[in-house]
Amino acid sequence: MVPPLRLASLLLVLLLCTAGANSSSSSSSTPLTKIGNGYRLISIRETPDGGLVGHLVVNKQNNIYGPDLPHLQLFVKHETEDRLRVHITDAETQRWEVPYDLLPREQPPRLKQSIGSLGKNTIAVSEYSGSEFIFSCISDPFGFAVRRKSNGQTLFNSSADGSDPFGSLVFKDQYLEISTKLPKDASLYGLGENTQPHGIKLYPNDPYTLYTTDVSAINLNTDLYGSHPVYMDLRNNGGQPSAHAVLLLNSNGMDVVYRGTSLTYKIIGGVFDFYFFAGPTPLGVVDQYTSFIGRPAPMPYWSLGFHQCRWGYHNLSVVEDVVENYKKAKIPLDVIWNDDDHMDGKKDFTLNSNNYPRPKLLAFLDKIHSIGMKYIVIIDPGIAVNSSYGVYQRGIANDVFIKYAGEPYLAQVWPGAVNFPDFLNPKTVSWWGDEIRRFHELVPVDGLWIDMNEVSNFCSGLCKIPQGKQCPTGTGPGWICCLDCKNITKTRWDDPPYKINASGLQVPIGFKTIATSAVHYNGVLEYDAHSLYGFSQTIATHKALQGLEGKRPFILSRSTYVGSGKYAAHWTGDNQGTWENLRYSISTMINFGIFGVPMVGSDICGFYPQPTEELCNRWIEVGAFYPFSRDHANYYSPRQELYQWDSVAESARNALGMRYKLLPYLYTLNYEAHISGAPIARPLFFSFPSYIECYGLSTQFLLGSSLMVSPVLEQGKSEVKALFPPGTWYSLFDMTQTIASKEGSYVTLDAPLHVVNVHLYQNTILPMQQGGLISKEARMTPFSLVVTFPAGATEGAAKGNIFLDDDELPEMKLGNGYSTYVDFYATLTKGGVKVWSQVQESKFALGKGWYIEKITVLGLNGSGGASALEIDGSPVTGASNIELSTTEHKFLRKLEDGDDKMKAVMVEVSGLSLSVGKNFAISWKMGIKG
């Protein structure tokens, strides 16, 4: 329980005494227009539940972008020890907010305005005795600051101090603005979705526009498919790193202007609803953030295998050939996908009876299902306007579509004229679930891919079906608008006073999407709900799949919002087959881990145009380690399945071969993501927050806390310069190759065409299996453990874990009788090495018969060899099949330059049969020096 709120006395102080004195003021050379004259706090009081409510009045009207709202309500609450909420809205009229049923949270009180008048420089301070945050605000002009209690650091400061060209709170009906000052040492991450050419750190003066848009991911620094108005702020003061996050929960379009020492939100509606997450570690931030927005969805085991898709598999025989050719090439493949090729006239929930005859498709699915493979198809939100189409008929009968002037809003996507379901309507959710059920009875798919849900529209404005001509024509590009349309600019919703940087072109916000004056259920405007469309469709789809067979749903969604990771995986959209896009994929992937969407990846080899053979080699070496690993290509591009080139097939067998050995590790990371939000793929600073050199690193990434991928990202290169944080790293492909550095350093690694460098950090126990061509078969192979100590150490400790369960069950947790969790431990002393396990819920693992056949320990001191092996306290005699072998490490970089005396060895214990479901202990003596 959080202790009761303690509201500090209201004091008269000088303005310079406001919280935030240690923050830098804006020094940007690009001025910000002063839009408003700010507000004055006239009263503030405590609520019965420990919150704080204040009322504000506008200082002086400023009519730029419309009149200021005269009265505002401030609500502040320390919701947990590490989460603070600051909510500001109209005190007189209810305004649009993210629906509380889509993202559950506490509703602020609606209190009548208090009568009062605070002095000009009054400061109010709010803090919990158990909270890490201190909130303070100054009365006139109103501004607030959030500080960290443990070190006094100011995390957010909107208070004007007279030296800034901004700082005054602006709150108009269709324009909100607020700014915070930032110190120079703040490294910021997040604010997506966009393609950031400068890497994972926010870059000063790059535009960050948040508004879900179907714009190809090749467009740099523009609003893309998702809206995630959250950033993580990492600072390192004197070697003491601390991280926090700031979420502005608002679904309206916005520009976020980052100038290095300031950050300004410019929003076209809604409210200010800030949430602050205290950290102080990056992992702690994501834990707190996903605790609020929803923990990431548990993914089925097979979804961590390799996926193959293409827009242009014209008939079933092509799909069958793809599966067979992967098998012939001995390249792992778990899931085969269809884009819209399986559909009748590109209509959702239909089957093309000529190219995908149902009896043959069902026979194919029986065949692949019998070996553990899966099948997924695409579903777009646009429902074809067709009086003979049952899905449309039932939609009209249930009144499920978004309206304009009382009629379903007409748009165009792949099938031609369409209406869009309104997923804010409970009737639509029921209708959608029924259509998914009907389709699943027709074709037993294993998951659904929901695309085009930003929403994408090939037309703009108010449209009608043209008389006397076919639409679409059936020839030429299908994305050319063929409806009769007229622009809609007569309403303030279609032509708002402030124009966000939509699509990087300042086009109208209704361009190639639903008109923003269209209406959802209960009169909600598309203007407000636009960026929630994909999120609301994802929730409805998840509910439908979960109700089918009681299995764990798998959904891939292009459009995302805050909380989407609770229901779906994500891919980064229509990327290009270029070296630049290969590099961008890493930044986007690790950003989505921060957003609480850990199951993420990019189209391997690029969606279009055709990649070069060399690029596809290098891309599968990266993509094999994406959390979501899928090759996908455009209809107009040549075929690019991994077996199309012999060289790419070799790289795929190598990289995917390692991925399939790592599946138990990846699945355990999936479990950790589900219970704590921890990203599967992470930037290096998550594990090394004190190592400033890795703060902006965007060309390498971690899987979990200890496995580092350092790929080749440039054409014509056969080596890669990789950053190694302090400590010892071991090559996963050749465990004798070792890099050790006390201070951390860059190392140039050999990387011939078929080689990707993957390294494991010290003090880790990594569970692996033998791999295979399908995850189902790979999952039943014997386990091995890789144990790492710092090279040459005479003592140390390592640990790891593994989660195993029935991955078809909807829930992913311990204690249900269908799961097992194992902690592995190892210690190194001068007496030798001990490795042991502690098992929770052993029944499930015992029933599967899993066992550990090999333990490999890296970095052991000396060359005296291993002896006196014991298992569970009993000596192992020479008559057994168990073997000990010792191999000396090859150092690429020593702990100290010129130290040629250090030696370290690898000891391998093979021939074991240790049950994963039982506690075990194995030990041996080493001839350790020192």
Q: What CATH number did the domain enclosing 665 receive?
A: 3.20.20.80
User: Is residue 726 packed enough to be buried (19+ CB in 10 Å), middle (13-18) or exposed (0-12)?
Assistant: middle
Domain of residue 145 covers 5-293
Domain count, the chain: 3
Q: Is 882 within the bounds of a domain?
A: yes
Note the pLDDT of residue 15: 30
Establish whether the linkage from the previous residue to 611 is cis, with ω within 30° of 0: no
Known active-site residue 273: no
Note the pLDDT of residue 182: 96
Note the pLDDT of residue 221: 77
Same domain, yes or no: 332 and 283: no
pLDDT digits (tens, 9 = 90+) for 898-921: 555 668 899 999 999 999 999 999
Same domain, yes or no: 191 and 309: no
Q: Is 698 within the bounds of a domain?
A: no
**Tokens encoding 198:** 């400068």
Q: Is 282 within the bounds of a domain?
A: yes
pLDDT digits (tens, 9 = 90+) for 698-742: 999 999 999 999 999 999 999 999 999 999 999 999 999 999 999
Burial 458-481 (b: 16+ CB within 10 A, else e): bbbbbbeeeeeeebbeeeeebeeb
User: Rounded distance, CA 226 to CA 214, Å?
Assistant: 9
Known active-site residue 454: yes
Q: Residue 103 maps to which CATH number? A: 2.60.40.1760
Q: Is 684 within the bounds of a domain?
A: no
What percent of the chain is predicted at pLDDT more than 70? 92
Same domain, yes or no: 277 and 396: no
CB 724 within 8 A of CB 691: no
User: Rounded distance, CA 714 to CA 711, Å?
Assistant: 9
pLDDT digits (tens, 9 = 90+) for 647-664: 999 999 999 999 999 999
Type and span of the H or E element at 579: helix 579-594
User: Rounded distance, CA 582 to CA 589, Å?
Assistant: 11
Same domain, yes or no: 225 and 97: yes
- Nearest in space to 918 (alpha carbons), one of 794, 806, 824: 824
User: Rounded distance, CA 228 to CA 594, Å?
Assistant: 10
Q: Is 502 within the bounds of a domain?
A: yes
**Tokens encoding 337:** 């996908």
CB 626 within 8 A of CB 656: no
List Cβ neighbours of 86 (8 Å cut-off, separation of 6 or more): 74, 75, 76, 135, 144, 146, 272, 273, 274, 276
158-167, 427-436, 480-489, 843-852: which range is least confident on average? 158-167
Confidence band for 928, pLDDT divided at 50, 70 and 90: low
List Cβ neighbours of 414 (8 Å cut-off, separation of 6 or more): 340, 346, 380, 382, 478
Establish whether the linkage from the previous residue to 455 is cis, with ω within 30° of 0: yes
Q: Which of 293, 316, 333 is the last residue of a domain?
A: 293
Note the pLDDT of residue 460: 94
Same domain, yes or no: 643 and 529: yes
What percent of the chain is predicted at pLDDT more than 90? 81
CB atoms within 10 A of CB 181: 24
Same domain, yes or no: 173 and 278: yes
User: Rounded distance, CA 89 to CA 208, Å?
Assistant: 24
Which amino acid, residue 246? Answer: V
Same domain, yes or no: 544 and 485: yes
Same domain, yes or no: 388 and 267: no
Type and span of the H or E element at 360: helix 358-370
User: Rounded distance, CA 639 to CA 571, Å?
Assistant: 20
| Of 140, 173, 494, 574, catalytic | 574
Same domain, yes or no: 58 and 197: yes
CB 861 within 8 A of CB 793: yes
User: Is residue 582 packed enough to be buried (19+ CB in 10 Å), middle (13-18) or exposed (0-12)?
Assistant: buried
**Tokens encoding 855:** 């333990």
Same domain, yes or no: 280 and 319: no
Q: Is 551 within the bounds of a domain?
A: yes
Same domain, yes or no: 281 and 372: no
What are the backbone angles phi and psi of residue 828, rounded to the nearest 5°? -120, 125
Same domain, yes or no: 502 and 396: yes
Note the pLDDT of residue 26: 32
What's 298's DSSP letter? P
Using the structure block, give the residue that is written with the tokens 């303030």.
492
Q: Residue 849 maps to which CATH number? A: 2.60.40.1180
Q: Is 17 within the bounds of a domain?
A: yes
User: Rounded distance, CA 208 to CA 221, Å?
Assistant: 7
> Which residues sit opposite 407 in a β-bridge?
404
Establish whether the linkage from the previous residue to 280 is cis, with ω within 30° of 0: yes
Confidence band for 1, pLDDT divided at 50, 70 and 90: very low
Known active-site residue 641: no
| Of 451, 526, 621, 641, catalytic | 451
pLDDT digits (tens, 9 = 90+) for 463-496: 999 988 888 876 666 789 999 999 887 899 999 9
Q: Which of 251, 277, 293 is the last residue of a domain?
A: 293
**Tokens encoding 891:** 């150092």
Type and span of the H or E element at 7: strand 5-7
Q: 895 pLDDT exceeds 90?
A: no
CB atoms within 10 A of CB 762: 20
Q: Is 694 within the bounds of a domain?
A: no
Note the pLDDT of residue 881: 85
Q: Tell me the whole-structure pTM to 2 decimals.
A: 0.95
CA-to-CA dists, residue 516 to 89, 424, 921, angstroms: 22, 15, 65
Q: Which of 229, 263, 293 is the last residue of a domain?
A: 293
| Of 454, 526, 805, 807, catalytic | 454
CA-to-CA dists, residue 365 to 313, 698, 757, 878, angstroms: 16, 40, 37, 51
Average pLDDT over residues 771-780: 98
Note the pLDDT of residue 23: 33
CB 735 within 8 A of CB 634: no
